Structure 1
Amino acid sequence: MKKMSVKKVFMLAVLTVLVVSLLLTGCAPANTEPAPAETSTGEPAVTETQATDYPKRAMEFIAPSGAGGGWDLTIRTVAKTLQDTDLVSVPMPVTNKEGGGGGVNLAYMQEKKGSDTLVSVYSPPLILINLNGSSQLSYKDTTPLTRLITDYGAFVVSKDSKYQSITEVMDALKEDPKSIKICGNSSAGSMDHIQFLMIAKVAGVENVGEIDYVAFQDGSGASQVLGGHVEIFSTGLSEVRGLIESGDLRVLASTADKRVGTGVVAEVKTCKEQGIDATFENWRGLFGAPDMPDYAIAYWEDVLAKMVETDEWKAACEKNGWDDAYQNKEDFSKFLEQVNEDYKAVLTEIGMIQ
């Protein structure tokens, strides 16, 4: 065999290098996209492409209370409805973060600033715990998404209670504000407490600030009444439906302006029917973490607007005695500003403003 010239050997080597280089660049294109930045929570920032596919990860739905309360019932009903109607395909597990009348969860939400996966339910305590000095945080430290429903307060006793009407309770308190012990699942100065004081004040009870109120934020208010530890349980009407149906509890009155719900709930008399011209609305809505991304806000506004029109959601509202009170983000934000001022006036009047 003839020996190859030095020139041919050199040319063959160059050609080999070129072929290998082309093969490598063709089969494994370089990744020129920079690594995603991190958010303030340490999570990878969402790229524009990822935003169009939102949501891709499981959501974090939160009830700021123990299991079985109004917040818990509301957000679990939302999750179930979204799942049953195929409006949302990712998992929506519900976590209970109780404590501080919702303040513990509100503080947690600050740690999740910028998150696109956190959605929490709230109602009047979100505003009340700020006004009464329990928390420095308020609704302004969240991203309001939508108002969903209006529930109503209820004043409940055990089936063996001597009290047969709300007027009998108020007559006893007029004689001695400390003669009856009241309890609720919200903190002192928050919703369950305030709704009772508002009704008592209109009923003519003086020195409403002296009325004994015990907070059971673990959600045990109903069992405390059943056990005879307190006389009156101030709560949400939908929260005690099962115990009303079983006959274990009796509802003396609701804070609605009319009869609501179906079955035994529809039989509950209002305070107004019993001569106390006062009402209290327990609105509930959904909130995202502070600085929730715009694409996430737009997504949830759209999905929730569709959800409230479904037969499944309407059936749940009827069953629980909830009034439809849907508001989009813009209207809900204006509503929150207004009720913040309204609650401030109420707390000032009964001497609980801080």
Structure 2
Amino acid sequence: MKLNKKLISSMLSVALIGALALSGCASQSSSSEPAASSSSTSSSSSSESTDYPKSAMEFIAPSGAGGGWDLTIRTVAKVLQDTSLVNVPMPVTNNSGGGGGVNLAYMQTQEGSDKLISVYSPPILLINLNGSSEYSYKETTPIARLITDYGAFVVPKDSPYKSIADVMDALKKDPKSVKIGGGSSAGSMDHIQFLIVAKAAGVTDLKEIDYISFQDGTATAQILGGHVDLLTTGLGDVQSLIESGDLIALAQTASDRVGEGALAEIPTCKEQGIDVTFENWRGLFGAPGMPDYAVDFWRDTLKKMTETDEWNAERTKHGWADAYMDKEDFESFLAEKNEEYKGILAEIGLLAE
């Protein structure tokens, strides 16, 4: 009987030890399950972040074909495709009118879109300040500044004006004596860059200068046809016509000579005794309320693009200076320029009330 008691006691001990072991295994299994779940969630989140973009983007030039905005965004799309940084289609559409105002209004209808990207430059500020548009950069999502182009003042090859000083001398005598053409609206970039140079050259009665706006993409045809005496435009916009000799560039607005070949032969305003520069910066903007995941993707991707040999080759070809600026710095820059342009427009009487 005593033996049986010992046997029973031994068996109970074994059973107790077994139960404790099983309890430990269950506890260990339970504690490992949340870790597996956490890993799965992390993997899912990572997968979602790499899915963008899933389909074609909507790249927009807020002007006609062939201008500086058009050239810039088409070049961006080409380089992104050539370098395989983006593998979805990036067709470029032209949404012209109002010096960029028509497209700004369209962007308001696309609030929250992760597909729309448009290029802009100083007019995104100027058309609001001069009253042409109720919208400005504040009604978009700034992504990055990419390059700086410069203003150029060109005349037909048979023009009587051989230097920018000749033009300014004529305007000092009679502000109506030279008809100035440009692709932007009055009070916007092409107009303003010429007035800034004229003011620095000592021309008074700036309001009296005849400026004719050609927003339908015919500005170069107008100067070639002799309908205006001088065209104020972007250097890259008339590069091919300068290289062919059909147009003569009297001056450009950089602090130093830029580009290669014929572009590098164009004298600056400063070289000709007019102590002023004007930068035609260009950057990319998303629709208002663009989702953070899309903004982050494009910030990262555009930064990588600006570091490629392909992009730098395009910049050199078009005479563009590297002016990359990420979102936060770009937004600060825009706020500063907005105040600067406001002062310029007020000085020449074109600031909206």
Q: Report matched runs for 1:65-144 at 5 Å.
A: 65-144=63-142
Q: Within 1, Cα distance between the matches of 2:89 and 2:186?
A: 35
Tell me the equivalent position of 2:204: 206
Tell me the equivalent position of 1:310: 308
1:325 partnered with 2:323:
yes
Tell me the equivalent position of 1:269: 267
Tell me whether 155-164 or 213-222 shows the greater mean CA deviation.
Answer: 213-222
Q: Report matched runs for 1:236-247 at 5 Å.
A: 236-247=234-245
TM-score, with structure 2 as normaliser = 0.86
Distance apart, 1:67 and its partner CA: 0.4
Distance apart, 1:52 and its partner CA: 3.7
Q: Residue 153 of structure 2 is aligned with which of 142, 152, 155?
A: 155
Aligned AA (2:147): I
Q: Report matched runs for 1:35-54 at 5 Å.
A: 52-54=50-52
Q: Within 2, Cα distance between the matches of 1:96 and 1:343?
A: 26
CA displacement, residues 98-129 of structure 1 (integer Å, 9 cap, x when unaligned)? 00000000000000000000000000000000
Distance apart, 1:62 and its partner CA: 0.2
CA displacement, residues 300-332 of structure 1 (integer Å, 9 cap, x when unaligned)? 000000000000100011111100000000100
CA displacement, residues 327-351 of structure 1 (integer Å, 9 cap, x when unaligned)? 0001000000000001011111111
Tell me whether 158-167 or 47-56 shows the greater mean CA deviation.
Answer: 47-56
Instruction: Tell me the secondary structure at the aligned position of residue 258 of structure 1.
Output: coil
Tell me the equivalent position of 1:180: 178
Tell me the equivalent position of 2:9: none
Tell me the equivalent position of 2:14: none
Aligned AA (1:297): V
Q: Within 1, Cα distance between the matches of 2:257 and 2:338?
A: 27
Tell me the equivalent position of 1:215: 213
Q: Within 2, Cα distance between the matches of 1:52 and 1:261?
A: 38
Stretches of 4+ moved more than 4 A in 1?
Answer: 47-51
Identity %, equivalent residues = 70
Aligned residues between the structures: 308
CA displacement, residues 172-225 of structure 1 (integer Å, 9 cap, x when unaligned)? 000010111101111111000000000001101111111111111122111101
Tell me the equivalent position of 1:341: 339
Q: Within 1, Cα distance between the matches of 2:77 and 2:217?
A: 21
Tell me the equivalent position of 1:226: 224
Q: Within 1, Cα distance between the matches of 2:268 and 2:221?
A: 24
Q: Within 1, Cα distance between the matches of 2:218 and 2:63?
A: 11
Cα 1:48/1:188, change in 2 over 3 Å: farther
Tell me the equivalent position of 1:21: none
Q: What RMSD in Å do the two structures reach over aligned CA positions?
A: 1.1
Bigger helix fraction: 2
Instruction: Tell me the secondary structure at the aligned position of residue 270 of structure 1.
Output: coil
CA displacement, residues 66-102 of structure 1 (integer Å, 9 cap, x when unaligned)? 0000000000000000000000000000000000000
